[in-house]
Each structure stands twice: as structure tokens, then as C-alpha cells.
Structure 1
Amino acid sequence: MGTALGTRSASAVIGVEQSLPSDVVVDISGALTNLVADVFALYLKTKNFHWHMSGPHFRDYHLLLDEQADQVFAMVDAVAERCRKIGGQTIRSVGEVARRQRLKDSDVQELSPGAMLSELRADNVRLREFMLHAHALCERHEDVASASALENWIDEAEKRIWFLFECSRN
């Protein structure tokens, strides 16, 4: 089967947008599904800190974290749908999110605003690293659409990292 990206094997799984060999679909959809779990975890932690923010910069931080949570949550559906478009499977339950997530939850009762911002910055840095790894995998297997989507999500993560860094400076 010929494509603009070259010839794919007869064992290729045909997704909506492209044709990838079944082992590549498993690898890429596995990496993206892990991202879905991490994005859910980051979303919940961001909302947690949004809900529990306090202090003299409450309003600014509260609004910042709400904006960031909305941006992160918007990624969930897009990443999961990317898995399905290439012919893979993705998250099916909260339990699967818990098993797959690499970002740690925060159940700490009392965190300072600065600690919250620092923790979210570190999590966004880790998420960016996970996305860079997934991007390299997509590029290696000529999954241009997934790589392109990841580039946009990486850029969004870098903006969140920048804002969190600037807000947490003394």
C-alpha cells in the first residue's frame, strides 16, 4: 500500500488519517495513552491547587491555574482521539489512569502558594519530556500528524512552565 510517506506493509492497520504497521500503532498509541493518563493527573492536580490556593496573590494564581487547567483538560480528548485515529486504543477507566500515570498526585493538606506553583512547574517540565519522547517516536515512524499535534502541546507546556516560573520568582 503506497502512501505519501512511503510503502507500508500489508499488515498495516488502517486508521482514519494514515496507515501504520500494527506494531507501530501499538508503540505510538501506548505512548499517547500514557500521556492521556499524565494529562488527567496534571489536570486534577492543577484544579486541586486552584481550589486550595490562598494568600495575597490568591486571585491572580487562582485565575492562572484555572486557565492552565482548562488548557490541560482540552488536551485529553485530542490525545485520546489521536490514538483512535491511528487505529489504537486508549484509556478506559480511572483505574487505568492511576496505573499508567507517571506524574505524582498531591494529597498534601497545606502547601504554600509557592510550593504549589513549583510543583506544577516541575510536573509540566516532566510532561514536556514525555511529549518530546513521544514526538521522537512519532518522527521515527513517520507519523507526521501525531508529531505535529505533539509540537503544539509541547509549545503549550512551555508557556505553562514559563508562567509558573515567573509567578514563583521572588
Structure 2
Amino acid sequence: MATAPDFGFPDDQRRAIADGLSRLLADTYTLYLKTHNYHWNVTGPQFNSLHTMFETQYTELALAVDMIAERIRALGEPAPGSYSQYAKLATVKEADGVPTAEEMVRQLAEDQLAVVRTARGVFPAADEAHDEPTADLLTQRMQVHEKTAWMLRAQLG
């Protein structure tokens, strides 16, 4: 096995950060899948606007999963990449059935904030280790998810 990279902070911190990022990856991927599902299955008077909005969101999430997974790899740890691993790690839950358009929007708004909480939970470990690249990634992800949650909530009135 290869030696872990020396980032200037202890291995236990490096692993803790990678573990937190693995949870963030699981939440992000699950939200990606759920958003893509809703993009395909949304119906009703808001179909066009929601179909387009969901596509924008899942496209952004697809790019995010790659950034998060690559950061985990840069930290010298394997990135989780299976549905069973994500199911164990994620706080975001998969969709059951096909809810109404309004319920889709409500769930996605809640899930966006769940991802924010996951990212925020990793931040102290990155901050303590002075792991600025991870802290920057977490900050960017929180900003995106907070803004997206606001946009979804605005759809609800």
C-alpha cells in the first residue's frame, strides 16, 4: 500500500476530513439522483420551469460530485462510489414514488439544506488541520446549496 501523503497535519485528521467528505459526496450524489428523477417525472402547470430548474441543479451536482471525490482522492483515501455505500453514508434520502411538483420542490429545498449541514459538519476538521483547499471546497458547496434552497423555497411562495 502506498504511503499516505504528508499534508503537514496528522493522518487521523486527514482521514477524518476524508470521511466527512465521503458523507458529503454521498449526500451530493443522492441529491443529484433525486433531482434528476424529479426532472424526468415532474408534471403540472409548472412543468416547464421546474423541468428546466431541476436540470440546471442536477448538472451542477454532477460537477460537484467529481470535485468532492477528487478531493477525497487527493487526501489519499478511496472515494465511495456505490449505491450501497451512499445509502450508509447519506442523510439525504432517495425519493419514494413520484410526489406532486410542489412536494418535489419542498423535498429538494430541505435536501439542499441537509447537504449544507453535512458540509458545515466537516468544516471544523478542515479548519483545525488548516486544510484550506477542503475548507474552500466546503465554503463553495455551502454557498451553492444555500442559494439553491432559497430558490426552491421561493417557488413555494
For normalisation by structure 2, the TM-score amounts to 0.93
CA apart distance, 1:140: 1.6
Q: Size of the alignment, in residue pairs?
A: 155
Instruction: Say what the alpha-carbon RMSD is for the aligned residues.
Output: 1.5
The aligned runs of 1:37-56 (5 Å cut-off) are: 37-56=26-45
CA apart distance, 1:136: 2.0
Q: Is the 8 A contact 1:41 1:105 kept in 2?
A: yes
Deviations 1:133-163 (A, max 9, x none): 1112211221111001111111111111111
1:156 corresponds, among 120, 141, 144, to 144
CA apart distance, 1:108: 2.0
1:9 aligned partner: none
For normalisation by structure 1, the TM-score amounts to 0.86
Corresponding position: 1:124 with 2:112:
yes
| Greater radius of gyration (CA) | 1
1:79 corresponds, among 55, 68, 88, to 68
DSSP 3-state at the match of 2:9: strand
> 1:121, 1:23 → 2: CA distance?
34
DSSP 3-state at the match of 1:23: helix
1:14 corresponds, among 5, 14, 25, to 5
Q: Which structure has more strand as a fraction of its residues?
A: 1
Cα distance, 1:56–1:92 mapped onto 2, change above 3 Å: closer
Q: Is the 8 A contact 1:13 1:25 kept in 2?
A: no
Corresponding position: 1:36 with 2:25:
yes
Quote the sequence identity (%): 26
> 1:146, 1:58 → 2: CA distance?
37
Corresponding position: 1:25 with 2:14:
yes
Q: State the one-letter code of the partner of 1:44.
A: L
CA apart distance, 1:112: 1.3
Name stretches of at least 5 consecutive residues in structure 1 with no aligned partner. Answer: 1-11
DSSP 3-state at the match of 1:20: coil
1:168 aligned partner: 156
Q: Is the 8 A contact 1:117 1:164 kept in 2?
A: yes
Cα distance, 1:58–1:92 mapped onto 2, change above 3 Å: closer
* Worse overlay, 51-60 or 136-145: 136-145
1:114 aligned partner: 102
Q: Which structure has more helix as a fraction of its residues?
A: 2
1:7 aligned partner: none
- Runs of 4+ more than 3 Å apart: none
1:146 corresponds, among 124, 134, 139, to 134
